[in-house]
Structure 1
Amino acid sequence: MILAALTLTAIGASDLVRRFVLHRGVRIVLLSLLVVAVIGLGACSAALVPAIIACVLSGLWLWTVPLDATGRASFWPAAVLAGVVFVTTVLMPVREAPGLIGEVWSVRSPAGDLGFDVAVLALGVVLFATESANLVVRAVLDREGTWRPADLGGALRGGRLRQPQPPATGFQGGRLIGPLERILVLALTLVSAYPLLAAMLAAKGIVRFPEISKDGETGARAEYFLVGSLVSWVTALAGALLVWWGARS
């Protein structure tokens, strides 16, 4: 499980650095410090080898998943990462005394003592739910050729074409709305607040309905909204399942 936790933490933090640190030199320094931090965390928690593997997987992610989500690998890195994370979470149980950190680690939660591995896993899931999940959503939209509101001519990325679309003024806050929405889905799912979760998801559709209803015959906005939202929700629910599984292990 610690491998999945460190991998998600490394990837999530790396993507945040890539997105918000514009200066190339500073970005390289911060990414290097992140590698040192992950390896140090692994060394102090008796998980040096998983930490090194996590750094390698994070490097492969940065190489295959560009910020514009138009790489040749498409969404396949995300699919491979999901497989690795779920397999390692299931096959690698939670450790009771993770090295030096285990000697001082003592965190209580409403469900009882919170293990170190589970805490790192939860941190990794939250970090991944921010910018990394945005990249996954954009990669899927790009792979499926879904029209983007920023496209002025209606051309789709997957080789298909629709009728020309006017410049869109809506759906411009997805980069911020998406992470907030996923974190809310994570939190509401983990506390079993399913009525609130259903109400929030329904409210999003109601708010977007006026813009979606302007599609006319193309259905481009509805397709964009449905594909993006479903991929985002599935990513958040998968993260909640990971944390739930770790807490119950």
Structure 2
Amino acid sequence: MIVAGFILLAVGAADLVRQFAPRRWIGYLTVTVVLLLLGSVSDALLPMALALVVGALWVWSMPTERPAPLGFWPAVLLAVVSVGAVVGLGARPDAGLIGAVWRLRSPFGEVPFDLALLALGAGVFLLESANLVVRAALDGEHTWRPADPAASPVTAVADTAAAAETAAAPETAAASETAAATETDAEVASAPRDPRGGFKGGRLIGPLERILVLILTLAAAYPILAAMLAAKGIVRFPEISRDGETGARAEYFLVGSLVSWVIALGAAFLVWWAAHS
């Protein structure tokens, strides 16, 4: 249990540093010091060192600036290691130095330190790391166009025809482009500025949704959980209904939502199993 807690905490904290820290090396150093302190007071230096190694491998295999080189597989391997650590290893009889003074009660009973660390690690992982997993899953399902236009014969023929038309009527093309640019500038200037134009709701909705799924699942509030998931589908229905014949938006929504829910339910399963083992 303590191994999975440290691993999830290290991975989740590293991704939060990559996303929000202005100087990453300071954030990574802070995370390392915090994990070292937690490992020292809980007599878990070996799990802590393993978590640092896994966190470094995760940062390398799941970059934020480009598609993941290994695709979705680092997330699968992390899930297998976490589940194996919780199911196979179980709880420790002694939590070290902090175990003598640790007292935390909840509506479900007393919470040991190892369980609290696992819940903290799962919650931190759901904030930003789960976004990377969802993105890797969507990248794996996306059909990319060839990078070289010459690699596609249809594209090459279309480009040749377009070049011929442009060469035949250069003045007409230039006039059309100038008129289109003028109309676009006029529309942008006259349109009111939307203060929500730069709001990235997906990066906020996803973590909040996963945290709610985790809490509602652990609290056995299954009707509320079902209503929340159904409400998301209802809100997105107008957008999906305009998808046309390709079904790209519907598939994008379904893949992203299902992967996000599976991650949150998996985290809830880990915490539930650790609490009842």
Equivalent residue for 1:162? none
Residue by residue, what CA displacement relative to the aligned partner does 1:71-96 show, whole Å, maximum 9, x if unpaired? 21111110000000000111112124
**Corresponding position: 1:103 with 2:131:** no
Query: CA–CA distance in 1 between the matches of 2:67 and 2:219?
Result: 36
**Corresponding position: 1:27 with 2:55:** no
Unaligned runs of 5+ in 2: 148-196
Equivalent residue for 2:132? 135
2:35 paired residue among 34, 38, 54: 38
Residue by residue, what CA displacement relative to the aligned partner does 1:122-172 show, whole Å, maximum 9, x if unpaired? 00010000100000000000011169xxxxxxx599xxxxxxxxxxx9x95
Q: Which has the larger radius of gyration?
A: 2
Superposition map of 1:128-207 within 5 A:
128-145=125-142, 172-207=200-235
Query: Retained in 2: the 8 A contact 1:96–1:115?
Result: no
State the 1:109 CA deviation.
1.2
Taking a change above 3 Å as real, the CA distance of residues 73 and 115 of structure 1, as seen in their structure-2 partners, is same
Query: CA–CA distance in 1 between the matches of 2:7 and 2:84?
Result: 13
Query: Retained in 2: the 8 A contact 1:145–1:156?
Result: no
Query: CA–CA distance in 2 between the matches of 1:115 and 1:40?
Result: 18
Taking a change above 3 Å as real, the CA distance of residues 177 and 192 of structure 1, as seen in their structure-2 partners, is same
1:92 paired residue among 72, 82, 89: 89
TM-score (norm 1): 0.87
Query: Retained in 2: the 8 A contact 1:146–1:220?
Result: no
**Corresponding position: 1:233 with 2:248:** no
Query: CA–CA distance in 2 between the matches of 1:12 and 1:146?
Result: 29
Query: CA–CA distance in 2 between the matches of 1:82 and 1:146?
Result: 26
Q: Which piece of structure 1 moves more, 73-82 or 90-99? A: 90-99
SS in 2 for 1:99: coil
Equivalent residue for 1:150? none
**Corresponding position: 1:113 with 2:97:** no
State the 1:112 CA deviation.
1.2
Equivalent residue for 2:54? 57
Equivalent residue for 1:6? 6
The letter of the residue matching 1:38 is L
Query: CA–CA distance in 1 between the matches of 2:7 and 2:248?
Result: 35
Taking a change above 3 Å as real, the CA distance of residues 28 and 213 of structure 1, as seen in their structure-2 partners, is same
State the 1:36 CA deviation.
1.9
Query: CA–CA distance in 2 between the matches of 1:156 and 1:57?
Result: 34
Equivalent residue for 2:16? 16
C-alpha RMSD of matched pairs (Å) = 2.0
State the 1:97 CA deviation.
2.6
Query: CA–CA distance in 2 between the matches of 1:42 and 1:11?
Result: 16
Which one has the bigger helix percentage? 2
State the 1:69 CA deviation.
5.5
Taking a change above 3 Å as real, the CA distance of residues 30 and 114 of structure 1, as seen in their structure-2 partners, is same
Unaligned runs of 5+ in 1: 148-154, 158-168
Query: CA–CA distance in 2 between the matches of 1:130 and 1:156?
Result: 34
Q: Which piece of structure 1 moves more, 27-36 or 112-121? A: 27-36
SS in 1 for 2:271: helix
Query: CA–CA distance in 2 between the matches of 1:62 and 1:72?
Result: 11
**Corresponding position: 1:214 with 2:211:** no
Query: CA–CA distance in 2 between the matches of 1:172 and 1:30?
Result: 24
Query: CA–CA distance in 2 between the matches of 1:218 and 1:235?
Result: 27
The letter of the residue matching 1:175 is R
Sequence identity percentage? 59
SS in 1 for 2:97: helix
Query: CA–CA distance in 2 between the matches of 1:61 and 1:156?
Result: 29
